[in-house]
A = this chain, B = another copy of it.
Amino acid sequence: MKREIQVNEERLWQSLMDMGQVGALPHGGCCRAALSAEDKAGRDLFVRWCRDAGCEVAFDQVGNIYARRPGRDGSRAACATGSHLDTQPHGGKFDGIYGVMAGLEVVRSLNDAGIETVAPVEVIVWTNEEGVRFDPPLAGSSAFAGVVDVQSVHAARTRDGTTVREDLEAIGYLGEALPGSRPLDCFVEAHIEQGPILEAEDKVIGVVTQIQGIRWSRVTVTGVDSHAGTTPMNRRRDALVGAAEIIVALNRLGREHDPSVRLTVGKIEVEPNSGATIPGSAAFIVDLRHPDSPTLDLLESRIGELVEGIAGASGLRTDIARIMDKPPVHFSGELVDAVRDAARQCGYPAMDMLSGAGHDAMNVARVVPTAMIFVPCKDGLSHNEAESATPAHLAAGARALLYTLLARAGSL
């Protein structure tokens, strides 16, 4: 690096705040479910900003957006960054959005500095990272990596009864290009940590070496709908009581096994969900995470035994279906080194770490050299309206990203 290149901390912050107005919630957070009207508005705003910054914007068949800042050598694959713009139902202004806005800030800062790179630089928005309106989560990057096919993404039903293809068409983001047909030199995703470690260790940059594995299972507990007032306690087959026993036992398993385990039931649907009826059905998602695959296997089998044991003792039937399996991912050593170097060049206190959350980067890593940059977030809080980060930390992450991409893309 010949000279110091800065990013514009205030501009980056303002972009995050402006994007945070789209689907804004009362307590400072955002709700932009994938392919909703709010998601369309967020995408449109991003596309406008990118065009204003001189980028060529394209999208593919699953609505992933690629904003390219051309390089000198048109034959070179792009050095890419980005993340997602969709949010949790009570999401914050930073999870995902920061990675996209940091990429945009890299483009704008390269413009300000009058730097032409050799390879193009691209900012990517992946579709439906959060999986709130439809399954699977991480849909756009999964399609890019060939983990799911376009047809199955298109056919998925949203919770509003539409298909994903209909929604893509309706919001104007149904492109023609096959996801994955676009060559990338590398992908570096910036993100808030979503955990407490950087803050506790007083570091500014997390050099992410690995993402823990994630498995989702859908557990359905089936009993018998019956009347709450007339059915004696000892004649009930109450699916919610069975599900509650399982949830308590899963939490105990998660606490007792080893400190790296994350075991969560975040979503439950009870039927018929009426005050005076003993529920005949309760279905919930078990989110299991751990950095190593043998432990995931072991815990998954323990979960199966536990579910069967509790249900069997209560006269309930159960069904367990694994609906997502993201193995632990180790990032590209070369690219992780580049992130570490960039943080050092910029003079930011950094540390190696693993990611507890899944990210689009874990899919992209299957097909392209990939790494991630974490910055601290307040109290480690995420998937919460109160999610927060400092302008200085966010700018530091964007600058480390700029240095990483510049080292890879080359400049004259």
List the interface of chain A (C-beta within 8 A of B).
88-90, 130-132, 137, 193-196, 212, 214, 216, 224-235, 238, 240-241, 243-245, 247-248, 251, 254-255, 259, 261-268, 270-280, 285, 287, 289, 355-358, 380-385
A376 to chain B, nearest CB (A): 12
Determine whether the beta carbon of B273 is less than 8 Å from that of A228.
no
Q: Give 8 new A-B contacts, CB below 8 A, not counting A225-B385, A267-B274.
A: A88-B272, A89-B271, A224-B384, A227-B357, A227-B381, A233-B255, A241-B247, A272-B383
Determine whether the beta carbon of A195 is less than 8 Å from that of B227.
yes
Report how far A385 CA is from B132 CA in the complex, Å: 31
Known: A130-B274, A251-B233. A381 touches B226 (CB 8 A): yes
Choose among A255, A268, A381 the residue with the greatest number of B CB atoms under 10 Å from its CB. A268
Partner of A277, one of B88, B231, B254, B263: B88
Report how far A227 CA is from B379 CA in the complex, Å: 12
The 8 nearest A-B residue pairs measured at CB: A195-B230, A230-B356, A244-B244, A228-B264, A229-B357, A244-B247, A89-B272, A277-B383
Determine whether the beta carbon of B272 is less than 8 Å from that of A90.
yes
Closest to A251 in B: B241
Which of chain B's residues have a CB closer than 8 A to the CB of A225?
Answer: 90, 383-385
Which of chain B's residues have a CB closer than 8 A to the CB of A244?
Answer: 243-245, 247-248, 251
6 examples of A-B residue contacts, CB within 8 angstroms: A89-B271, A89-B273, A229-B356, A230-B355, A264-B276, A275-B285
A109 to chain B, nearest CB (A): 29
Partner of A275, one of B216, B247, B276, B357: B216
Determine whether the beta carbon of B196 is less than 8 Å from that of A276.
no
Determine whether the beta carbon of B251 is less than 8 Å from that of A196.
no
Determine whether the beta carbon of B357 is less than 8 Å from that of A230.
yes
